[in-house]
Amino acid sequence: MSKLSGITPSGHVHLGNHLGAVRRWALEGGVDDLYFVADLHGMTTSHNPARLRSLAREQLAVLIAAGIDPGRVFVQSDLTRELGALTWVLECTCNYGEAARMIQFKEKSKGQAGVRLSLLTYPALMAADILLQGADEVPVGEDQRQHVELTRTLAKRFNSTYGEVFTVPEAVLPPAGARVRDLTDPTRKMSKSTRDAAGVVFVLDEPDQVRRKIRRAVTDGGSVPVHAPDTRPGMANLLEILAACRGGSPADLAEEFSSYGAVKDAVADAVIEELRPLRERALTLLDDVAELDQVRKAGAERARERGSHRLDAALRMIGAC
């Protein structure tokens, strides 16, 4: 069984990405699993090309620095020719109504004067990502489950109409990861694309930046630390981050401290140590342009080789060659 997971370079990788997904990919990923930087998906709305390019390189370095086998990581745009061809095949398999009813398209296009066509056709590209690599499972949150269901529909339709080519994937909910909230507003998740970075710990932040952000984290009324997510979400967030870094349960960890300040100091120490090796390795990779380019090239070649026979078969069966 192989899995495929991607991360979009809409911003710098943050602590929530690391604790919730990237660390698990490195520790639990199988030899046939693939992970990719979904930079083409970052073009469906207005973006800065130079920033997108820089963020894609940064995310590639972070995935490798986290311990994922470099041979199982690639950048989506390095397969533009393959994905472009397969996306067209799948657009010729999909109908307008199926694409237009996607919830994300409705939400992101609502109230917009000029909506890019790519926002509508994005699910076909996502389907191409999955079907090109023959993934059996696609770990996704609820917001992306509908897209995987469309991928299944397109795979079945193509296979029944033209011939068996594609593995029909399953959408699976990933194991529950750390629930990391914004430090300045614990009612919302930590996000790469937030406009206010004060509450977001990025994995490449300097240790002093990490400590400063955590010390300024919002806490709640009271003086004795307790893990009470419903009534004290700020303190609960800090304790959950500490538990994800050190182990143990948030409730048990709360009993070790007599003040909020002590909790913040412990969380800062734990986060800095958790991120230290990743940060050092990622910065080394980013400084060594030649090495990172070579790793990127090798990952793209493996992904291309893995999917080329499926693309060739799909094109042949649909009548394109």
Active site residues: 108, 189, 192
Antiparallel, parallel or unpaired: β 34-37 and 73-75: parallel
Buried b / exposed e over 228-243, threshold 16 CB at 10 Å, is bbeebbbbbbbbbbbb
Count of alpha carbons within 13 angstroms of residue 5, beta-carbon side: 23
